[in-house]
Structure 1
Amino acid sequence: MELVVQNREESGYPLSFTRVDAQEGTIPLIWTPLMNQEDGFRSYPGDYGKQRRPSLVIPVKNGNYHVKVALGDKEREGRTSIKAGAGSIMLQQIRTKAGEITEREFIVRVEQQELRLAFLGDVPQVQSLQIKPIHCPTIFLAGDSTVCDQCSGHYPYTGWGQALPLFLTAGAVSNHAKSGRSSKSFIQEGRLERLESLLGKGDLLLIQFGHNDQKNDERGTAPFADYLTYLAEYVATANNKGATPVLMTPVHRRAFTESRWLEDTHGDYVRAVVGLSQKLGVACIDLAEKSKQLFEALGPEGTKPLFMWTDPNEYPQYPEGTEDNTHFHVKGAIEIARLVYEGITEQERLRQTFGQANKTLKEEQR
């Protein structure tokens, strides 16, 4: 059943939504507390921004939903971003002139029986939403903190998986990556088993591990031994469900040598992934190489805005600022997600389903 939601205010913002279908009634916007634990069911999209806003929460069945949104205002200019779920970026700073109404579309994955949306940006202007269930392929993500849905209390820490929906015009994203996990611990905690219950024919499973496989603790794996064994288990799981596995080399850290070139901190783990993809005949996105080219082109100073380098008191939760060379600022997550999407479109077997470039993104957000 299609759900139509309309802003009942005369101007695009502030927002106050009502249903205009058979179940007509007001849908409240909900203020929610910041979450400092990585649990996507507890973080709400309105809390992923410098200026927090309430979230629109609509009870629905789990699945994929197509959302068409009318943005703009009769009298005011707008600059609107939309986030969903646990901070997934659906639209980023869409500009509208006074008197201009424009439509945008995206697909949201729901796994907690609530469709959660937030309208952010400098001047959000929203007229209406049309929401309906859709059967379409889903990109499932397995990985670590560089990929995961970071919790709202850690914003602007952002995993590239939170930014990947920004680039898609077909298909949904279901992010199951978790901070601190290795290829081994992810399986031991039952997370791959959970993914197996959700994967279906035509879906993708993107697999990126390596950062924590290097650890000298119970998470650690040897690159040409059990690391390969565990990665092969992800591949087999996807194949058994009719989904397409995609191995990924781990994204680089911001580790520059004195000569301005990146230090390869992953070493044999990168070579192990490439070799396994060739041995098993599965797709591989060499994110290590792609991120190396990006970071070296930007240089030591130019890469700081991509990572969690923040000034003291720039964000209230980080009064002393941050200097993190592993994890991404929202800006960096978007750029890495761009590389991941590029890698998807370079795979002949994936291009037909997910390869249509998001023209709106290219025009408005580059």
Structure 2
Amino acid sequence: MKLRTLTALLSIVIFTSQAQQTSWKFDFGTQAVAKGYTVVTPATKFSYETGYGFDFGADVQAIDRGGNEPSGDFITGKKPFYFSVKLPDGNYDVKILLGDPKGTSATTVRAECRRLMLENIITRNGLQVTKSFTVHVKDSMIRDAQQNTISRVKLKPREAEYLHWDNLLTLEFNDSLPKVCAVEITPNIKAPTIFLAGNSTVVDQSREPWAAWGQMIPRFFQPGVVAVANYAESGETMKAFKGERRLEKIWSLAKPGDYLFIEFTHNDQKPGGNHLDPFTTYKQTIKEWIEEARKKGMTPVLVTSMHRRNFDSTGHIINTLAEYPEAMRQTAAEEKVALIDLNTMSKALYEAWGPERSLKAFVHYPANTFPGQDKALADNTHFSPYGAYQLAKCVARGIVNTGLPLAYALYRNISFDPGRPDPVERFYWPQSGFVGTLKPDGN
């Protein structure tokens, strides 16, 4: 994987003609290719020379049902399979034709590091559907207005394995019966971008069983209307986020009408060189980011950090975040900035679960639940996919409650009461092909 990342960095300077493309169209299968499309067969393996193909040893097969292309045939697999396309920095609308002219299908689509885009799309016998979503693609290069590289984000060693710094759009096709007929990718330069700045509770966690709300929230937005750009990283403080040039990367891409969601606390409160005091340096730093965002025509949004899973003897949450959430609330009021109070909502959420059921929302798994996991996992800070999904619903509710214009971009059937979380028994998450046992940075 690290060799792949190094190759990706070298390839950034040679986009040439591909950077001028207005769309990428792929016809999945082995029958005659649809006009204007590029054929993708099971033998189409990804390379930086071609710029597209199946990735990570995808084990797939083509099924030909006859009829018109591109709907007459499809690619399927018994395990999650991955398809990558080399793309420049930016937002893209992705349109996917799913289904089987002579059968049923069930497909979940994730992008980059397990970012949820389409959830359990089921087609009845003989039916096909076209589904769309909007995705953000990035690399680590920082460019000026003329697109000259002037710097780069200082990535951590573990980020060499991530799929969201490599100038590729990697799509994961998953579920019980995924059937993919065609994929079309088109740049979207008009939709506002929601830039997420945060830590491990926000980041696109790269491997099962960890997850965070930032990788679930794209699923709740309608396609073509807004793009979620998750720049969060595990273990980050506000100081480190800026020092590693992650904030500079956001500023280099930001345009008027974009949003900056800020959620930090878990690591900022710890002693050391990156420590910030809640009512002084923490508030001051947030205000500096707010000011710069406004200069760029962005809308800053503050998100108080969710609690850790820490119950007292009566089943109530113990606050381990000191005065930081209150400091952020005060900053929002002083600066007249929208506030999503995830701290308050998470307390209601956790207490609705209680000490035992809340284990399902965090990374608590007995030994040997996952390949190579010889020890039990017990993490009271980081979330399972189920927990991350519930936190993302809290954020979506916060967007509506604060009256942000973004609310119009959410699917209208999204409603959520943190005091009445969705039952874990109804949550469906087909496991990704990427599994690990290394706990994320931060706590």
Fold conserved (TM > 0.5)? yes
Which SS does the other structure have where 2:255 is aligned?
Answer: coil
8 A contact 1:200–1:243 mirrored in 2: yes
Shift in Å, 1:108? 1.0
Please name the residue that 1:30 is paired with: 55
Shift in Å, 1:173? 1.0
After superposition, the Cα gap between the structure-2 partners of 1:358 and 1:219, relative to the gap in structure 1 and judged at 3 Å, is farther
Which structure 2 residue ranges, 5 or more long, are not aligned?
1-21, 45-52, 59-77, 140-166, 417-421, 429-443
Shift in Å, 1:352? 5.4
1:129-278 counterparts in 2 under 5 A?
129-135=183-189, 136-152=191-207, 155-169=208-222, 170-278=225-333
Q: Is residue 91 of structure 2 the alignment partner of residue 64 of structure 1?
A: yes
For the residues of structure 2 that align with 1:32 and 1:339, how far apart are their CA atoms?
A: 37
For the residues of structure 2 that align with 1:23 and 1:80, how far apart are their CA atoms?
A: 22
8 A contact 1:30–1:55 mirrored in 2: yes
Please name the residue that 1:47 is paired with: none
For the residues of structure 1 that align with 2:251 and 2:102, how far apart are their CA atoms?
A: 50
8 A contact 1:4–1:21 mirrored in 2: no
Please name the residue that 2:27 is paired with: 6
Match of 1:2, as an amino acid?
A: S
Q: Is residue 405 of structure 2 the alignment partner of residue 350 of structure 1?
A: yes
Please name the residue that 2:71 is paired with: none
Match of 2:260, as an amino acid?
A: L
8 A contact 1:3–1:21 mirrored in 2: no
For the residues of structure 2 that align with 1:20 and 1:320, how far apart are their CA atoms?
A: 50
Shift in Å, 1:22? 3.9
For the residues of structure 1 that align with 2:28 and 2:253, how far apart are their CA atoms?
A: 34
1:76-155 counterparts in 2 under 5 A?
76-112=103-139, 113-135=167-189, 136-152=191-207, 155=208
TM-score if structure 2 supplies the norm length?
0.71
Of all paired residues, the percent bearing the same amino acid is 34
Match of 2:331, as an amino acid?
A: L
Which SS does the other structure have where 2:279 is aligned?
Answer: coil
Match of 1:128, as an amino acid?
A: A
Shift in Å, 1:23? 6.2
After superposition, the Cα gap between the structure-2 partners of 1:282 and 1:19, relative to the gap in structure 1 and judged at 3 Å, is farther
For the residues of structure 2 that align with 1:3 and 1:98, how far apart are their CA atoms?
A: 29
Which SS does the other structure have where 1:6 is aligned?
Answer: strand
The one-character-per-residue Cα deviations of 1:282-325 (angstroms, maximum 9, x if unpaired) are: 11100001111111111111111111011211111422121101
For the residues of structure 2 that align with 1:313 and 1:305, how far apart are their CA atoms?
A: 17
Shift in Å, 1:209? 0.4
Match of 2:305, as an amino acid?
A: P
The root-mean-square deviation of aligned C-alpha atoms, in Å, is 2.5
8 A contact 1:344–1:354 mirrored in 2: no
Shift in Å, 1:74? 2.9
Shift in Å, 1:197? 0.9
